[in-house]
């Protein structure tokens, strides 16, 4: 069950399964494209066994959800929302900045929020109010005007309340690939969005990937992953707890321990066995262990290189000198340092975003943040004197490229001055 593996095992195991479901997802996309709301209603009955009269959640349904959750839990949801908002507000760029880089040449950047985005909030084996907070609050802080959500029915009261607390404008009882298609293409009830964010299963991920010609997306975000870098100073119970916390998400989740201590994997497994004995999601954890394992490396620098090659969604650093190792990490979705920084802190309350790239995509992509919901335009403002400074460069290069009108557009300004 808990086995020694190599990088190849991990990478092969985490390879995207999008191609395997592409035909089925294309059929769903085509149905939504041509049949609109009818397709959503039919597919919801087929996959979620739920009959829908209306696709959109009403205000009455939201108010009823508030009545069905513990007031203490409501307070904690609001606390989490506050922590998430606080961190994301630190990321908001200036709407416009201008700098005179030399006399007569002023350059800058104008940042503008997107107008309408869609957030996919997964359901299925668990409810994810935390994901609703992460997606919607990041968009709201970024300044997005309209934020819509799709999530599979039946929607748990907790998730519904979280979407309302976070500030969703529209909530739809639609899940799976059909929800992605609806937000990308639009239907009679759902207006299309500019960008779709949020994690999901392989069908959701496939739909996001296949619809990129119609809508922008954040990144592929599939089953949960965790990588742990540990030496002999790490606490085996803590490491085991973090591994299992991610393993309980889904049978397709994966956990990897890379350590310089050859005795440590056995200690961790012993702790995991103890912690799984009475775990409510034990069977899911055990299934995830089939995708998991450990690597023993000679020194921590080599261990860090292995982790960079894997680019895990979550990376926990449990070593004597964690900041030294942090400086060597280049590829990870979100990084957790030290024995008292569990992955669950980032999942729920620290304020960092838990919507992260998986399957190695952290090599080139960032976790969800305010920048995902904004676009930038460069700005330049040049005086006559500034253009004189740039003119020789513009004319020489444009002539070399054979684009003579470019150089003429500069020369005529000089002639006007004369």
- The per-residue pLDDT string of the chain (418 residues; one tens digit each, 9 = 90 and over) reads 899 999 999 888 888 788 899 999 999 999 999 999 999 999 999 999 999 999 999 999 999 999 999 999 999 999 999 999 999 999 999 999 999 999 999 999 999 999 999 999 998 767 899 999 999 999 999 999 999 999 999 999 999 999 999 999 999 999 999 999 999 999 999 999 999 999 999 999 999 999 999 999 999 998 899 999 999 999 999 999 999 999 999 999 999 999 999 999 999 999 999 999 999 999 999 999 999 999 999 999 999 999 999 999 999 999 999 999 999 999 999 999 999 999 999 999 999 999 999 999 999 999 999 999 999 999 999 999 999 999 999 999 999 999 999 999 999 997 765 5
Sheet holding 216-217, edge to edge: 170-172, 146-150, 116-120, 195-197, 216-217
The structure tokens 């404008």 sit at: 169
Residues of the chain with CATH 3.40.50.1980: 18-217, 223-345
Q: How far apart are CA 114 and CA 259, in angstroms?
A: 43
The torsion angles phi and psi of 285, rounded to 5 degrees, stand at -60, -45
* pTM as predicted: 0.94
Q: For the structural domain made of 223-345, what CATH number should be given?
A: 3.40.50.1980
Count of Cβ atoms closer than 10 Å to residue 376 Cβ: 11
Percent composition of the chain: helix, strand, coil (DSSP 3-state, to 5): 50, 15, 35
Q: Residue 199: helix, strand or coil by DSSP? A: coil
Phi-psi region of 394 (alpha: psi -120 to 50; beta: other; left: phi over 0): alpha
Kindly state the helix (H) or strand (E) to which residue 32 belongs, with its residue range.
helix 18-35
Q: Provide the 8-state DSSP code for 18.
A: H
Given a contact cutoff of 8 angstroms between Cβ atoms, the answer to whether 333 and 307 are in contact is no
User: Could you tell me which of 118, 272, 80 has the C-alpha nearest to residue 200?
Assistant: 118
Given a contact cutoff of 8 angstroms between Cβ atoms, the answer to whether 40 and 182 are in contact is yes
The torsion angles phi and psi of 147, rounded to 5 degrees, stand at -120, 120
Q: Is the domain 18-217 a CATH 3.40.50.1000 member?
A: no
- pLDDT for res 388: 95
395 vs 30, 402, 403, 409, CA distance in Å? 51, 10, 9, 9
Q: How far apart are CA 314 and CA 63, in angstroms?
A: 35
User: Could you tell me which of 350, 355, 349 has the C-alpha nearest to residue 333?
Assistant: 355
Instruction: Enumerate long-range contacts of 169-172, CB under 8 Å, 24 or more apart.
Output: 170/56, 170/146, 171/56, 171/57, 171/62, 172/55, 172/56, 172/57, 172/148
Kindly state the helix (H) or strand (E) to which residue 311 belongs, with its residue range.
none
Supply the Cα-derived Rg of the chain in whole angstroms.
Answer: 25
The residues pairing with 99 across neighbouring beta strands, listed in sequence order, are 107
> Could you give the maximum distance between any two Cα atoms of the chain, in Å?
87
Q: Hey, what's the torsion of the CAs at 273, 276, 278, 283, to 10 degrees?
A: -120
Q: How far apart are CA 313 and CA 186, in angstroms?
A: 31
- pLDDT for res 13: 84
The residues pairing with 317 across neighbouring beta strands, listed in sequence order, are 229, 337
Q: How far apart are CA 110 and CA 145, in angstroms?
A: 17
Show the tokens assigned to 50.
């739920």
Show the tokens assigned to 159.
């998730």
- pLDDT for res 418: 52
Catalytic residues: 313-314
Burial of 356 (0-12, 13-18, 19+ CB in 10 A): buried
The torsion angles phi and psi of 7, rounded to 5 degrees, stand at -60, -40
Q: Residue 110: helix, strand or coil by DSSP? A: strand
């Amino acid at each position: 069950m808990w086995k020694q593996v190599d990088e190849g095992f991990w990478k092969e195991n985490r390879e995207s399964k999008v191609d395997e479901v592409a035909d089925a997802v294309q059929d769903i996309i085509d149905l939504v494209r041509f049949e609109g709301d009818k397709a959503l209603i039919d597919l919801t009955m087929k996959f979620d066994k739920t009959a829908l009269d209306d696709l959109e959640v009403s205000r009455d349904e939201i108010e009823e959800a508030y009545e069905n959750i513990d007031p203490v839990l409501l307070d904690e949801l609001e606390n989490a929302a506050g922590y998430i908002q606080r961190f994301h507000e630190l990321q908001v760029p200036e709407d416009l900045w201008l700098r005179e880089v030399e006399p007569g040449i002023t350059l800058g950047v104008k940042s503008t929020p997107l107008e309408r985005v869609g957030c996919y909030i997964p359901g299925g084996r668990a409810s994810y109010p935390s994901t609703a907070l992460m997606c919607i609050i990041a968009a709201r802080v970024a300044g997005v005007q309209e934020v819509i959500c799709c999530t599979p029915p039946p929607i748990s009261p907790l998730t519904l309340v979280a979407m309302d607390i976070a500030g969703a404008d529209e909530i739809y009882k639609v899940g799976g690939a059909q929800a992605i298609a609806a937000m990308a293409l639009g239907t009679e009830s759902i207006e299309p969005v500019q960008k779709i964010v949020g994690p999901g299963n392989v069908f959701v991920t496939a739909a996001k990937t296949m619809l990129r010609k119609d809508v922008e997306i954040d990144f592929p975000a599939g089953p949960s992953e965790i990588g742990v870098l540990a030496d002999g100073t790490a606490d085996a119970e803590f490491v085991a707890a973090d591994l299992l916390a991610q393993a309980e998400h889904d049978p397709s989740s994966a956990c990897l321990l890379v350590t310089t201590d050859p005795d440590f994997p056995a200690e961790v497994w012993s702790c995991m066995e103890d912690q799984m004995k009475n775990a409510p999601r034990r069977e899911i954890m055990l299934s995830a262990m089939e995708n998991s394992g450990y690597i023993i490396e000679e020194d921590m620098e080599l261990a860090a290189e292995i982790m960079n090659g894997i680019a895990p969604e979550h990376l926990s650093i449990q070593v004597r000198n964690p900041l030294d190792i942090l400086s060597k990490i280049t590829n990870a979705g979100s990084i957790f340092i030290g024995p008292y920084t569990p992955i669950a802190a980032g999942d729920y309350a620290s304020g960092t975003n838990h919507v992260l790239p998986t399957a190695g995509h952290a090599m080139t992509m960032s976790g969800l943040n305010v920048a995902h919901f904004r676009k930038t335009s460069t700005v330049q403002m040049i005086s006559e004197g500034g253009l004189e400074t740039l003119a020789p460069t513009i004319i020489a290069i444009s002539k070399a490229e054979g684009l003579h009108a470019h150089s003429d557009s500069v020369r005529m300004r000089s002639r006007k001055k004369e």
